[in-house]
A and B are shown apart, each in its own frame.
Chain A
Amino acid sequence: AQSVTQLGSHVSVSEGALVLLRCNYSSSVPPYLFWYVQYPNQGLQLLLKYTTGATLVKGINGFEAEFKKSETSFHLTKPSAHMSDAAEYFCAVSEAGRRALTFGSGTRLQVQP
C-alpha cells in the first residue's frame, strides 16, 4: 500500500528565508513522487516530480526536492521564500506510476513580510 505523511500542517517563514516542507512516503515498490501547489480557489499545479534517475529534482518557481530512499523522504525546499509562495502544498506518491496518486494532508505555507 502507498501512503504519504506531511509533517506540519502549517509552516510560517519570513520573506527571503529558506522554505522546507517535509514529506515521507510508504511504497511497496519504487515510488513516483510529486509535489503539487494549490492557491486559494484554484486547482492543483504540479511543482515537480521524481520518477527515475537523478534524485535531486528541480521544479518551477525555484523549488526543488530530493528523493532519499534510505529515509523514505521527498522534502521540498526553496532557498528564499517569496510572498507569492503562500499557498497549500501537497506531496503525492504513486507506486511505480501504476496506481492513482495518494496525497498527503497538505502543508499551508505562510510567508511573513
Chain B
Amino acid sequence: DSGVTQTPKHLITATGQRVTLRCSPRSGDLSVYWYQQSLDQGLQFLIQYYNGEERAKGNILERFSAQQFPDLHSELNLSSLELGDSALYFCASSPQGLNTEAFFGQGTRLTVV
C-alpha cells in the first residue's frame, strides 16, 4: 500500500459527460501529480500541484482541469468526454516539489461509452 488513495476505482460514463476523480496523497506529501495511462499513449504526465498551487503542466487537454485543496487532496475534472479519454488515471504524491520519489495510487479506470 503506497498510502495514496484514489476514488473511484472504476468509472463508466457516456460521451459528453463530466467526471471528477479524487486523490488523497500520502500523509505529509505536498506534491500531487496526475498521469494518464492508455494503450496508445503510454504513461503521460498531465499536471502537478505543489501545496495548493499549480507547479507544472504536461499533456493536459483544455477539457481537463485539476485543483489541490487546502487539505492537500486533489481532484481531476474531465469534461466533454470522448471515447479516446478512456484510460487509467493515476495520481502520485511526493514529499516536496523535487522528484526524489513519487508514490502512486492504484488508479481510476475510466471507460467512456
- Whether B104 contacts A43 by the Cβ 8 Å rule is yes
Which among A43, A46, A99, A105 has the greatest number of chain B C-beta atoms within 10 A? A43
Mark the stretch among A12-20, A71-79, A90-98 that contacts chain B. Answer: A90-98
**Cβ-based interface call for A42 (8 A):** yes
Flag if A43 contacts B105 (CB, 8 Å). yes
- Kindly name the residue among A51, A94, A101 whose own CB sees the greatest number of chain B CB atoms within 10 A: A101
| Inter-chain contact B58/A100, CB cutoff 8 Å | yes
Give the CA-CA distance A104 to B58 in the complex, in Å. 15
Q: Which residues of A contact B105 (CB under 8 A)?
A: 43
The verdict on A98 contacting B98 (CB below 8 Å), with A43-B2, A90-B43, A105-B42 known, is yes
Chain A interface size, under 10 / 10 to 19 / 20 to 34 / 35 or more: 20 to 34
Interface residues on B, range: 20 to 34
Once bound together, how far apart are the Cα atoms of A16 and B65, in whole Å?
Answer: 47
Residues of B within 8 A of A106 (CB): 42-43
Residue B64, interface by CB 8 Å: no
Residues of B contacting A51 in the complex (Cβ-Cβ under 8 angstroms): 100
Are A43's CB and B106's CB within 8 A?
Answer: yes
Give Cα distance in the complex from A10 to B33, angstroms: 28
- Complex CA gap A42/B48 in Å reads 21
Candidates A42, A43, A45, A100; contact of B33 at CB < 8 Å: A100
User: B-side interface residues toward A, CB under 8 Å?
Assistant: 2, 4, 33, 35, 42-43, 45, 48, 56, 58, 90, 92, 97-107
Please provide the 8 A-B residue pairs with the shortest distance between their CB atoms, ordered closest to farther.
A94-B99, A103-B43, A97-B98, A43-B104, A44-B104, A43-B106, A97-B99, A100-B45
Interface residues, chain A, with chain B CB atoms under 8 Å away: 32, 34, 36, 42-46, 49, 51, 90, 94, 97-106
Could you list 19 examples of A-B contacts with CB < 8 Å? A32-B99, A32-B100, A43-B104, A43-B106, A43-B107, A44-B104, A46-B102, A49-B100, A51-B100, A94-B99, A97-B99, A98-B98, A98-B99, A99-B56, A99-B99, A100-B48, A100-B99, A103-B35, A103-B42
